[in-house]
């Protein structure tokens, strides 16, 4: 795994300028709307809107597919699982021994698959358009989450990104000490586990030292100021409204279409 | 008091009254019986043997040693009469290793971090950031990533991030370790510039005294057994015969003196060739740019070779490649039968157990190579990979000579900087390879361990081992003799003696 | 000379988080979060295998619960399990998870499952049985929330079976593995600033 996952190249200039809180807000309302019901109409509406907004991400279709293919597979499998297990209503479409698909169960499966995909995409939007430092600034200044935790989390995000890079060096060092990655499959697996454990040990080690360095620079007190103000702009209002519109639109359409299927009932 | 004698605004007064600290899990106190008064604005160079407790004292002054759970405290250590931890921000500490103290992703944010923690108003933060970066001479855009910095730049960044606190007490723990000679002077001058402007009190720890001797007012030498060995102006402590002798005995580097080393200066290699490189290009990553190209070098048994060059020139990359750890980017690297034995002539294809018997590589960063939970296991680890019987006498001798015996049960990660370095060298000596590659083997060493290390290496060379060392330490290169490969600007040049 | 207590000024009730607690907890969480991404991808693979009988996937869920149990066991402060589990979930969501932002909710619920067990023992006991119980707590919390949020359309028997398997997985993967990991880490000495590193029987 490359560290580029933790410090991705940010794209989508417009969204990059927005405050992370507004993006988070939009993602959350859409997610809440999606999660409240399992039906194909609300899922399709949200998914459609998300796809329509994809150009804002500023990456190619290929780039996007490379990133989200595991999500696609997961969605398909989720759909299949539900089709197999849901209540067998409607006509039987396929029956092989105990494996039975009916119209009802397949429809349920499709709904679950679409919903899974629609649920997954907001995370990608935030990932590709949000700088972690901006996110931390916003969480602490706008949402007033405890700054020690926000900054601790931010520092460790960076640290782990570095450690992923360190993986290679650690491998070299182990090779030099006589326990490198050669030999049988069993030996390789053992070495891989050993190296992973070594990496975690180093991560904790560095975290401990980083904590000392942070304290040595006055971190840990009750209050602090912020060198960079996290601010809202009209763009943030637009993003929040778009999020709300998508969420409300999905729910309304589903209710009107009569497919609304609240999960707590 | 005449106006000229009024201490500069904000400089801190330090006093220690019978202060001591014992790290949890250790029987011995790291520092003890410390009686000290440092007046505001004084510039102090803190010396002492490796493991004498210098870093511990600095951590104590910065208030970051922790609570009862992390150790036991004796006596008192006070900044302007208050506990260091209760006046965080008065003291700014630059840790021994600049690499591990970067908190944030951008240079500007990193420097601003401390000021934010001290609740400095926003406009003033950015003024301070600009000033701190100017002071240390780091002319980079504020959004420059903190990962993309050379060794010297990282050191300056660490300094700048502490300066932005405008501390009344500046604490520096070996701020020039691992820097090339130019970088050392630049960083020192940056510190002096800042002190002239702010008048802050300074306590700097450094093994190589010469760099700081001219710019400090006072030298304090810690006794490894507790208490203070010498205290006074550099002109006295470092010059008077009586103190010089005492310091030399304790392993403190004093200007104009080099510790006596045993063994003989190795003659240039006359043994069989072990490893030769032709048109070798080395690179850190598979696809990234090559660090050095067109290297030609031949390493013979019983020969000492040095690699020198500025920070970031590619010395470590070249060393790792010669050590069979990185695949050469281009050119040939051939291990001759004298080294390779039955293992084939391409070192980077060797399996780990084959490699440890033939080439021992000590990394620049000691912690990367630690694999076990105690110094003793660490020393026996390599030999166990090679054979079932471990030569315990040799291990014991190594530990004794490199002053690790009292630490055999300690955890490698809790050692002092110099102790870690010695351990990592010792682990490689323990496997008795035919070729030793050492990346900065002497950094952070006091004069005694330095001399012991040189003696050990000379003996090895005498026995026919080849020693290749990457180093900024000119004394060390002199003491080992042999040719030097000087790397800079992407090319290497062999300088014979 | 009498030893005086070190630095009194850093308040240090059992509940107070020190800076080192926060940073190490975060690093553990982020590291586990990165592993989650791999675990998520693996889940797709596992779903293919368990497709014949999806409740079996419950056996796989323990991996998602490690952050909370491990964080709790190492940091030993109120809130550690929830904080670690939520942060790990957030990291996996950011890197790209098929569960999107909703993992934040799942993380909070699962972390709370483990946290509740630690709370029941008043943050005083950290032995193997407590670790296993915390894994069980997290597993049950996961099962309940997953059954409501994702498996809602399954029939009741399947949901029940899923819950039982998730509980088993929680005990074994989250409970046992976290406990072993905690012990292994303690043995390396990196936890020396934590009670976990000092009290583990080495
Ligand atoms: N975190 C720790 N836990 C346990 N022991 C420690 C710890 N840090 C340092 N020590 C021990 O305390 C003693 C003093 O260490 P310290 O780092 O203060 O030495 P130093 O004078 O700075 O040495 P060096 O010049 O090698 O850096 C050493 O014996 C070291 O092994
Ligand atoms: N792990 C790494 N991954 C990628 N590039 C690296 C890595 N380590 C070093 N580099 C880069 O490779 C080049 C050569 O680095 P190298 O560490 O070999 O220099 P050096 O001469 O040993 O410097 P120093 O005196 O500071 O140790 C530098 O430009 C450096 O930024
Ligand atoms: Mg030190
Ligand atoms: Mg180097």
In tens, the pLDDT along B123-137 reads 999 999 999 999 888
Instruction: Mark whether B235 and B359 lie in a shared domain.
Output: no
Asked if residue B482 and residue B352 are part of one domain, the reply reads yes
Least confident span in B16-30, B90-104, B295-309, C29-43: C29-43
Give yes or no: residues B315 and B450 share one domain.
yes
Q: Report percent pLDDT > 90 for chain A.
A: 34
| B321 C-beta closer than 6 A to ligand 2 | no
**What backbone phi and psi angles, to 5 degrees, belong to B391?**
-75, 85
Both B479 and B364 in one domain: the answer is: yes
Give pLDDT, residue A68. 77
Which ligand 1 atom sits nearest the alpha carbon of residue B57? 18
Percentage of residues in chain C having pLDDT higher than 90: 48
- From B108, which residue of chain A is nearest by alpha-carbon distance? A227
Confidence of residue B330 (pLDDT cuts 50, 70, 90): very high
Give percent above pLDDT 70 in chain B: 98
Q: Is residue C131 part of a domain?
A: yes
Per-residue pLDDT tens digits for A95-151:
777 777 888 888 888 888 898 889 888 888 888 888 889 999 999 999 999 999 999
Claim to verify: residue A45 and residue A107 sit in the same structural domain = yes
One domain, residues A28 and A119 = yes
Whether residue A79 is found in the same domain as residue A191 = no
Question: In terms of domains, do B473 and B434 share one?
Answer: yes
B324 is a domain residue: yes
- What pLDDT score was predicted for residue A142? 94
Of C3 and C196, the structure prediction assigns the larger pLDDT to C196
Looking at A166-175, A242-251, B261-270, which range is the least confident one? B261-270
Domain extent at residue C88: 19-197
Identify the CA nearest to B208 among candidates B246, B171, B253.
B253
> Is residue A22 classed as helix, strand or coil in its secondary structure?
helix
The whole-number pLDDT of residue A75 equals 82
Handedness of CA A212, A217, A223, A225 (dihedral sign): negative
Quick check: A8 pLDDT over 90? Answer: no
| Average pLDDT of chain B, as a whole number | 89
Quote the minimal CA–CA distance from B301 to chain A in Å: 20
Domain tally, chain A = 2
Is residue B308 located within the same domain as residue B384?
A: yes
Q: Which residues, by Cβ under 5 Å, contact ligand 3, an ion?
A: B 55, 416-417
**Residue B455: inside a domain:** yes
Is the Cβ of C125 closer than 8 Å to some Cβ of chain B?
A: no
* Mean pLDDT, residues C20-40: 87
A123 with A151, same domain? Answer: no
Distance from C-alpha of C151 to C-alpha of B346, rounded to nearest angstrom: 57
- pLDDT score recorded for residue C6: 38
**Nearest residue on chain B to A224, alpha-carbon basis:** B119
Nearest CA, atom 27, ligand 1: B417
Structural domain containing residue B242:
14-250
pLDDT at C51: 67
Same domain, A20 and A124: yes
Same domain, B295 and B333: yes
Please determine, for residue C97, whether its predicted confidence score (pLDDT) is greater than 90: no
Q: pLDDT averaged over chain C?
A: 83
Q: If pLDDT is split at 50, 70 and 90, which confidence band does C201 have?
A: very low
* Chain B contact present for A174, CB below 8 A: yes
Q: Is the dihedral of CA A106, A111, A114, A115 positive or negative?
A: negative
Instruction: Judge if A121 and A245 occupy the same domain.
Output: yes
Is the pLDDT at C11 greater than 80, yes or no?
Answer: no
Q: Which residues of C touch B67 (CB under 8 A)?
A: 6-7, 10, 12, 18
Distance CA C72, CA C36 (A): 18
CA of C199 to the centre of ligand 4 (A): 39
A116 is a domain residue: yes
pLDDT, tens digit (0-9, with 9 covering 90-100), for A205-252: 989 999 999 999 989 888 899 999 999 999 999 999 999 999 999 999
What is the count of structural domains for chain C?
1
Q: Using DSSP, state whether B249 is helix, strand or coil.
A: helix
- Closest partner CB to A27 (pick from C101, C148, C149): C101
**Same-domain check for residues A171 and A149:** yes
| Model pLDDT, residue C103 | 85
Domain shared by A249 and A212, yes or no: no
- Cα–chain-centroid distance for residue A73? 16
Per-residue pLDDT band at B495 (split at 50, 70, 90): confident
Asked if B352 and A174 come within 8 Å (Cβ–Cβ), the reply is yes
pLDDT of residue B10 exceeding 80, the answer is yes
pLDDT at C96: 65
Helix axis angle, C80-96 to A103-129, nearest 10°: 90
The residue among A185 and A3 whose pLDDT is bigger is: A185
In a domain? residue A138: no
Tell the residue number behind the tokens 């940091």, with chain if given: C75
User: Does the structure show a pLDDT above 60 at A195?
Assistant: yes
A105 against B201, higher pLDDT: B201
Residues A204, C96: C-beta atoms closer than 8 Å:
no
In a domain, A222, yes or no: no
Please tell me the predicted confidence (pLDDT) of residue A250.
94
What is residue B265's predicted lDDT score, i.e. its pLDDT?
76
**pLDDT at res. A6:** 53
Cα(B378) to ligand 1 centroid in Å equals: 18
pLDDT in tens, B73-104: 999 999 999 999 888 888 999 988 887 889 99
Collect all residues of chain A within an 8 Å Cβ-Cβ radius of residue B144. none
Find, in chain B, the residue whose alpha carbon is nearest to that of A201.
B371
Structure-model confidence comparison of residues B393 and B265, the more confident one: B393
Q: In the structure encoding, which two tokens stand for residue B47, read together?
A: 């010396």
pLDDT at site C12: 43
Q: Is residue C2 part of a domain?
A: no
This complex has an ipTM of: 0.88
**Do B467 and B402 lie in a common domain?**
yes
Mutate which of A181, A213, A215, A223 to disrupt the B interface (most B C-beta within 10 Å)? Answer: A213
One domain for residues A116 and A236: yes
Q: Does pLDDT of B268 surpass 70?
A: no
Measure the CA–CA gap between B126 and A230, rounded to whole angstroms.
16
Q: Which residue CA neighbors atom 10 of ligand 2 most closely?
A: B284
> How much is the pLDDT for C7?
38
Q: Are residues B480 and B347 in the same domain?
A: yes
Clarify whether residues B238 and B383 are in a common domain. Answer: no
Q: Is residue A35 part of a domain?
A: yes
CA distance to A260, B217, B287, C20, C79, per residue, from C16 (Å): 46, 42, 47, 11, 11
Judge: A159–C30 Cβ closer than 8 Å, yes or no.
yes
Mean per-residue pLDDT, C168-181 = 94
Indicate the number of domains in chain B.
Answer: 2
**Are residues A163 and A92 located together in one domain of the fold?**
no
- Kindly report, residue by residue over B393-439, the tens digit of the pLDDT: 989 999 999 999 999 998 898 899 899 999 999 999 998 899 999 99
Average pLDDT, integer, range B167-181: 89
Asked whether residue B266 is domain-assigned, the answer is: no
Q: Are residues A62 and A10 in the same domain?
A: yes
Is the residue at A123 inside a domain?
yes
Confidence of residue C177 (pLDDT cuts 50, 70, 90): very high
Residue A87 located in a structural domain: yes
Q: Which atom of ligand 2 is nearest to the CA of B472?
A: 25
- pLDDT the model gives residue B497: 65
pTM of the complete model: 0.87
Do B202 and B316 sit in the same domain of this protein?
no
Residue B464: Cβ within 10 Å count:
16
Q: Show the domain range for A111.
A: 3-130+231-257
B10 within ligand 2 shell (Cβ under 6 A): no
When pLDDT is cut at 50, 70 and 90, the band that residue C14 belongs to is low
| Among B30, B416, B74, residue whose Cα is nearest residue B226 | B30
Helix (H, G, I), strand (E, B) or coil at B202: strand
State CA B422 to chain mean position distance.
11
Give the chains touching A; criterion: ≥3 Cβ pairs < 8 Å. Answer: B, C
Q: How many interchain CB pairs under 8 A, A with B?
A: 150
Instruction: Indicate if A115 and A27 belong to the same structural domain.
Output: yes
Comparing B193 with A75, which gets the higher pLDDT?
A: B193
Q: Please give the residue of chain C at the shortest CA–CA distance from B26.
A: C192
CB C143 within 8 A of CB C167: yes
**Which atom of ligand 2 is nearest the CA belonging to B180?**
25
CATH of the domain at B134: 3.40.50.300
What is the distance between the alpha carbons of residues C29 and B304, in angstroms, rounded to a whole number?
47
B17 C-alpha vs ligand 1 centroid, how far in Å? 21
User: Is 50 exceeded by the pLDDT of residue B5?
Assistant: no
For residues A42-70, give the mean pLDDT. 85
Residue A262 domain-assigned (yes or no): no
Domain-embedded: residue A264: no
Range C136-146 average pLDDT: 93
- pLDDT of B414 reads 87
Residue with CA nearest ligand 1 atom 3: B414
Chain B to chain C Cβ contacts (< 8 Å): 62
């Amino acid at each position: 795994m490359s560290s580029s996952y933790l410090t991705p190249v940010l794209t989508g200039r417009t969204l990059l300028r927005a405050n992370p809180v507004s993006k988070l807000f939009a993602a959350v309302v859409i997610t809440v709307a999606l999660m409240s019901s399992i039906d194909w109409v609300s899922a399709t509406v949200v998914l459609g809107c998300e796809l329509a907004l994809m150009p804002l991400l500023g990456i190619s279709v290929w780039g996007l597919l490379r990133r989200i293919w595991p999500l696609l597979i997961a969605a398909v499998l989720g759909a299949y699982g539900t089709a197999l297990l849901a209540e067998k209503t409607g006509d039987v479409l396929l029956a092989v021994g105990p494996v039975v698909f009916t119209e009802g169960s397949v429809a349920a499966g499709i709904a679950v698959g679409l919903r899974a995909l629609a649920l997954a995409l907001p995370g990608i939007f935030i990932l590709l358009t949000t700088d972690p430092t901006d996110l931390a600034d916003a969480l602490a200044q706008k949402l007033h989450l405890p700054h020690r935790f926000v900054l601790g989390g931010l520092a460790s995000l960076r640290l782990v990104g570095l450690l992923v890079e360190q993986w290679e060096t650690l491998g070299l060092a182990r090779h030099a000490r006589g326990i490198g990655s050669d030999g049988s499959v069993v030996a390789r697996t053992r070495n891989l586990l050993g190296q992973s454990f070594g990496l975690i040990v180093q991560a904790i080690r560095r975290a401990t030292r980083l904590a000392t360095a942070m304290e040595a620079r006055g971190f840990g007190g009750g209050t602090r100021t912020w060198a960079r103000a996290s601010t809202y702009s009209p763009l943030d209002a637009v993003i929040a409204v778009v999020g709300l519109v998508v969420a409300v639109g999905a729910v309304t359409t589903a209710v009107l279409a009569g497919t609304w299927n609240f999960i707590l009932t | 008091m005449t106006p000229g004698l009024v201490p500069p605004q904000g400089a801190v007064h330090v006093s220690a009254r019978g202060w001591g600290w014992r790290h949890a899990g250790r029987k011995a106190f790291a520092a003890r019986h410390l009686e000290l008064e440092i007046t505001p604005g004084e510039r102090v160079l803190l010396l002492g043997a490796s493991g004498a407790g210098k870093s511990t004292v600095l951590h104590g002054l910065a208030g970051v040693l922790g609570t009862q759970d992390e150790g036991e405290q004796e006596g008192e250590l006070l900044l302007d009469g208050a506990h260091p931890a209760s006046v965080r921000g008065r003291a700014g500490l630059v840790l021994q290793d600049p690499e591990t103290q970067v908190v944030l992703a951008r240079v500007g944010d990193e420097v601003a971090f401390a000021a934010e923690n001290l609740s400095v108003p926003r406009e003033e933060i950015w003024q301070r950031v600009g000033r701190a970066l100017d002071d240390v001479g780091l002319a980079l855009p504020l959004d420059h990533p903190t990962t993309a910095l050379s060794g010297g730049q990282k050191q300056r960044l660490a300094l700048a991030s502490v300066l932005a606190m405008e501390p009344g007490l500046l604490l520096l723990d070996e701020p020039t370790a691992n820097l090339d000679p130019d970088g050392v002077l630049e960083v020192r001058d940056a510190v002096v510039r800042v002190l002239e402007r702010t008048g802050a009190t300074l306590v700097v720890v450094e093994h190589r005294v010469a760099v700081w001797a001219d710019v400090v007012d006072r030298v304090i030498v810690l006794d490894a057994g507790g208490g203070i060995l010498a205290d006074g102006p550099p002109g006295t402590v470092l010059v008077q015969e009586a103190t010089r002798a005492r310091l030399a005995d304790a392993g403190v580097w004093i200007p104009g003196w080099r510790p006596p080393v045993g063994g003989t200066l190795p003659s240039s290699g006359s043994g069989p060739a072990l490893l030769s490189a032709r048109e070798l290009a080395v690179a850190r990553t598979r696809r990234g740019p090559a660090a050095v190209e067109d290297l030609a070098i031949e390493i013979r048994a019983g020969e000492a070779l040095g690699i020198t060059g500025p920070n970031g020139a590619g010395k470590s990359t070249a060393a790792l490649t010669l050590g069979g750890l990185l695949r050469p980017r281009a050119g040939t690297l051939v291990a001759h039968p004298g080294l390779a034995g039955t293992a084939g002539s391409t070192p980077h294809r060797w399996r780990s157990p084959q490699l440890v018997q033939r080439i021992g590589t000590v990394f620049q960063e000691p912690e990367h190579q630690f694999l076990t939970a105690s110094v003793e296991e660490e020393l026996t680890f390599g030999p166990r990979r090679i054979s079932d019987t471990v030569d315990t006498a040799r291990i014991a001798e190594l530990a004794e000579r490199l002053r690790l015996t009292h630490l055999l049960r300690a955890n490698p990660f809790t050692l002092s900087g110099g102790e870690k370095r010695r351990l990592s060298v010792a682990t490689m000596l323990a496997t008795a390879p035919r070729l030793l590659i050492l990346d900065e083997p002497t950094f952070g060493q006091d004069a005694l361990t330095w001399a012991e290390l040189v003696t050990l290496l000379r003996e090895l060379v005498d026995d026919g081992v080849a020693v290749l060392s990457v180093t900024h330490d000119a004394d060390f290169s002199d003491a080992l003799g042999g040719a030097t490969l000087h790397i800079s600007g992407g090319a290497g040049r062999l300088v014979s003696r | 000379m009498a030893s005086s207590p070190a630095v009194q000024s850093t308040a240090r009730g059992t509940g107070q988080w020190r800076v080192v607690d926060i940073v190490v907890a975060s690093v553990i969480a982020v590291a586990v979060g990165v592993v989650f991404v791999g675990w998520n991808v693996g889940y797709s693979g596992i779903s293919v295998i368990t497709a014949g009988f999806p409740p079996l996937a419950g056996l796989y869920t323990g991996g998602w619960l490690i952050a909370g149990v491990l964080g709790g066991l190492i940091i030993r402060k109120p809130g550690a399990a929830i904080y670690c589990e939520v942060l790990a979930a957030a990291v996996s969501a950011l890197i790209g998870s098929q569960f999107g932002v909703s993992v934040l909710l799942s993380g909070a619920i699962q972390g709370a499952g483990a946290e509740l067990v630690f709370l029941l023992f008043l943050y005083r006991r950290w032995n193997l049985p407590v670790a296993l119980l915390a894994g069980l707590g997290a597993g049950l919390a996961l099962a309940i929330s997953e059954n409501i949020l994702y498996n809602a359309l399954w029939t009741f028997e399947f949901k029940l079976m899923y819950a039982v398997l998730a509980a088993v997985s929680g005990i074994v993967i989250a409970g046992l593995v976290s406990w072993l990991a905690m012990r292994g880490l303690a043995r390396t000495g990196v936890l020396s600033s934590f009670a976990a590193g000092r009290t583990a029987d080495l």
